[in-house]
Every structure is written in structure tokens, then in C-alpha cells.
């Protein structure tokens, strides 16, 4: 009833009859936690020690709607904004926001700020509710030794690097949303469907005006099978940075899950690669295992472990450039919409690596903590989260 009342209120504010006829739903997640995080064992003796904080863990609010156009065709839209209520953050359409057309027989086409199939596969195989929090698998997936962290700007520009602000997101470019994108999602046949996304080169610059030519574009392809207890996916994401060096980056991801009813098991393999990257070809493999177990009808244990192998530069392994992520937690549902959670996450960097949490970073890299990247290499990053998650 609450959703219907809110939808009616929003429709009543619309100035056009066409919008008022649309079926609008307001939805979202409020996910807050108290965190105690610790940075230790750095090479430069710049240990941060314990830090306490409150985190909003990818909380969001969204508006979505659909209008039947006849002949099986439906117009769809969605505006979704992250809500950083722990630090009085503002609203935007930074999350999945789009407009499109959908047909049961032909599939769906949408345009906007989109999650591609590569990110979607990683999210679906994470053990955490909403794939968020300090133990999320985005801490290691696709980062290529922390060289492919971040997302494109509003015009599509991308500057490869590993600097992540404290309490901010610190995922790979493959695990963030694509701006200026168009995607096609096929109908599902016997549990199998396909997704193809294209990222437009809206940032293309004149070479005779801009000293460094920019022309970023890319595509993201995926196959997913979801039928009964089985979920499996294969994705490939390729991006041409469009710089003068001709840098191309890509990510191949394979994963699956089996649901036993009382428990689930999950596995992921990820291969990230960059060509013409500082004059080199760089690649890295990451693999992970995870699972959940229902202790009671309302409570479940969750655990996962991810391993980033050493980087390979022009085929040669670079020693001590990998990392390991371990997480164990417990989620207890107070109702269908409200859940308590407790999580412990431990990220252990090798001596020449400086990975950070993928969600709610500690600010390990760059100048966030007054230390250089070399000084924080080899750090152990760990933390405890106690929180409440409510969906509406």
C-alpha cells in the first residue's frame, strides 16, 4: 500500500497527462553500518591503525515505470541515485538510469547509465546482500594490479590509476557502470539470455586541439543461464581508451552458482588484460569461491575467498603483486524487508601490491592518508561491519 500511495503522489505532481498515466514505482535500499577498519603491515611503516566510521553501503533510491504501448511493446524508464546518508551526500542519476523499449518476443533496448553484463555477473556471485560492504568481491576483480581502478567521467574520459578516496568506491572499470551506453537484452529461452552493450565515444577530441588524443569506446557482451538451482555466466568486456598510445583493456569473466536450498556455492574466474599499457602488455588472473548456509529460516552464514595472482608483464610474472581477500559474515532477517548483518573482511596484499576494499575503501592509495603508494604497499586491510539493511 505504501508503494502505491507514493507512486500516486509522484504521478500527481507530473504536469503532463502522459506521465500521469505511467505506472511509477518508488523503491530503494537503506543500508547503514558501524565499521572498525584497520591498516597495518605496510612497507613504509605508515600503519594507519584503527579507524571508526559509519557507512551507507551503496544505499540508493529509485523511480521506475512502464507504459504498455500495445502489440506487446512497453516503454520503460528508471532513474536511480546513490544515497550517502552517512555524510549528507546529494542525489544524482549515478546508478542505473535509462529509458527504453521492451518486447516479450524481441527483447529490450535501453539507453543511459548502465550496468554491463560483466559487472552484473560479478555482483550476482558475491555472497553479500546487494554485493556491498567491505568484503565485496569488487576488491580484487578486474583491477589488474590496481591499474584499472575507477570509472569514466561524464564525457567518457578514463585515466587509469589506483587512487581511491577514503569511504568511496574502489572497483575496477569493468565493475562500474558505463556512461553514455546503449544495451540490448534478448528474451530468455529455457533459462538462457544474452546481453550486448556499447559505450559511445562521446569524449572524442580533436587531435590538433588536445595534445593527447582521446576517443574512448567499448563493448560488453554476456551470456547468462538461470534455470532452477543453476546460475552460470560468461562475459567479455573490451575497451579502447583511445589515447595516443593505443591502450586497449579487456576482461573475460566466467562464473556460476548452485543453490541447494539450504546452502549455495559460487565460483568465479576473471582474466584482465591491458595492451600498449606503458609500452607493455599486462595481464592478471583472479579466482574466487564463496557460499552461504542457512542456519535457521531467518539467519545465514556467508563466506568467500578471492585470490589475485601475480601480474604478468609481457609474459613474465612480477613477484609479490597479488593479493588475497577473505570474508565471513552472518545475516539475520527481522522481516522480509529488514535485515541485521555482521561481517569480518581481511585483505592481505603481497609486498608489491596495494589493493583496497572495493566498497567503502580505507583510502589506502594516493595521498588520502598522507602516504605514497610505495609506502602502503604490502598493507593488510581488515575490518568489522555491524549494520542494518532495509529495502522499500
Residue boundaries of the structural domains of the chain: 2-391
Query: 192 pairs with which residues across the strands?
Result: 189, 225
SS3 of 244, please?
A: coil
Count Cα atoms within 13 angstroms, Cβ side, for 223: 6
Structure confidence at residue 155 (pLDDT): 60
Average model confidence (pLDDT) across the chain? 88
Residues 6+ positions from 88 with CB-CB distance below 8 Å = none
Q: What angle do CA 63, 66, 68 make, to 5 degrees?
A: 170
pTM score of the predicted model = 0.88
- Flag whether pLDDT at 239 surpasses 70: yes
Name the pLDDT band for 11 (thresholds 50, 70, 90). very low
Please state which architecture CATH assigns to domain 2-391.
Answer: Beta Barrel (2.40)
- pLDDT for residue 331 is more than 70: yes
* Local structure of 84: helix, strand or coil: coil
DSSP code for 8: H
Is the pLDDT score of 7 beyond 60?
no
**Pair 349, 378: CB distance under 8 Å:** yes
What pLDDT, on a 0 to 100 scale, did the predictor assign at position 162?
Answer: 60
pLDDT tens digits, one per residue of 300-328: 999 999 999 999 999 999 999 999 999 99
Q: Residues 184, 108: contact at Cβ < 8 Å?
A: yes
Cα dihedral value 137, 249, 240, 220, nearest 10: -40
pLDDT tens for 32-49 read 999 999 998 877 666 778
| Residue 105: pLDDT over 70 | yes
d(CA 342, CA 362): 18
Handedness of CA 153, 158, 163, 169 (dihedral sign): positive
Whether the CB-CB separation of 130 and 281 falls below 8 Å is answered with no
**pLDDT single digits (tens) 158-214:** 766 666 888 888 999 999 999 999 999 999 999 999 999 999 988 787 666 555 567
- pLDDT for 277 equals 87
Structure confidence at residue 218 (pLDDT):
94
Amino acid at each position: 500500500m505504501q508503494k502505491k500511495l507514493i507512486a500516486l503522489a509522484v504521478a500527481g505532481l507530473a504536469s503532463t497527462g502522459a506521465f500521469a498515466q505511467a505506472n511509477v514505482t518508488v523503491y530503494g535500499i537503506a543500508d547503514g553500518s558501524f565499521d572498525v577498519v584497520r591498516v597495518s603491515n605496510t612497507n613504509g611503516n605508515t600503519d594507519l591503525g584503527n579507524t571508526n566510521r559509519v557507512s551507507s553501503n551503496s544505499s540508493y533510491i529509485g523511480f521506475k515505470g512502464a507504459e504498455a504501448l500495445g502489440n506487446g511493446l512497453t516503454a520503460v524508464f528508471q532513474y536511480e541515485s546513490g544515497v550517502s546518508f552517512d555524510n549528507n551526500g546529494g542525489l544524482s542519476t549515478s546508478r542505473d538510469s535509462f529509458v527504453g523499449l521492451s518486447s516479450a518476443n524481441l527483447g529490450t533496448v535501453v539507453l543511459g547509465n548502465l550496468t554491463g553484463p560483466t559487472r552484473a555477473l560479478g555482483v550476482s556471485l558475491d555472497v553479500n546482500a546487494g554485493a556491498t560492504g567491505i568484503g565485496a568481491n569488487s576488491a580484487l576483480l578486474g583491477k589488474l594490479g590496481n591499474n584499472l581502478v575507477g570509472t569514466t567521467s561524464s564525457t567518457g574520459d578514463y585515466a587509469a590509476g589506483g587512487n581511491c578516496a577514503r569511504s568511496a568506491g574502489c572497483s575496477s572499470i569493468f565493475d562500474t557502470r558505463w556512461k553514455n551506453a546503449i544495451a540490448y537484452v534478448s528474451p530468455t529461452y529455457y533459462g538462457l539470455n544474452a546481453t550486448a552493450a556499447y559505450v559511445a565515444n562521446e569524449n572524442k577530441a580533436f587531435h590538433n586541439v588536445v595534445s593527447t588524443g582521446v576517443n574512448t569506446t567499448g563493448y560488453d557482451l554476456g551470456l547468462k543461464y538461470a534455470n532452477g538451482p543453476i546460475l552460470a555466466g560468461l562475459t567479455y568486456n573490451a575497451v579502447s581508451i583511445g589515447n595516443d598510445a593505443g591502450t586497449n583493456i579487456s576482461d573475460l569473466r566466467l562464473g556460476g552458482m548452485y543453490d541447494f536450498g539450504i546452502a549455495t556455492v559460487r565460483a568465479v574466474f576473471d582474466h584482465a588484460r591491458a595492451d600498449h599499457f606503458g609500452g607493455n602488455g599486462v595481464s592478471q588472473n583472479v579466482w574466487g569461491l564463496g557460499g552461504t548456509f542457512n542456519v535457521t529460516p531467518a539467519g545465514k552464514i556467508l563466506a568467500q575467498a578471492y585470490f589475485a595472482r601475480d601480474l604478468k608483464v609481457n609474459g613474465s610474472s612480477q613477484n609479490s603483486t597479488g593479493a588475497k581477500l577473505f570474508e565471513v559474515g552472518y545475516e539475520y532477517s527481522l522481516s522480509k524487508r529488514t535485515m541485521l548483518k555482521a561481517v569480518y573482511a581481511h585483505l592481505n596484499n603481497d609486498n608489491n601490491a596495494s589493493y583496497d576494499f572495493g566498497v567503502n575503501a580505507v583510502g589506502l592509495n594516493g595521498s588520502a592518508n598522507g602516504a605514497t603508494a610505495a609506502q602502503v604497499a604490502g598493507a593488510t586491510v581488515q575490518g568489522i561491519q555491524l549494520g542494518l539493511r532495509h529495502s522499500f
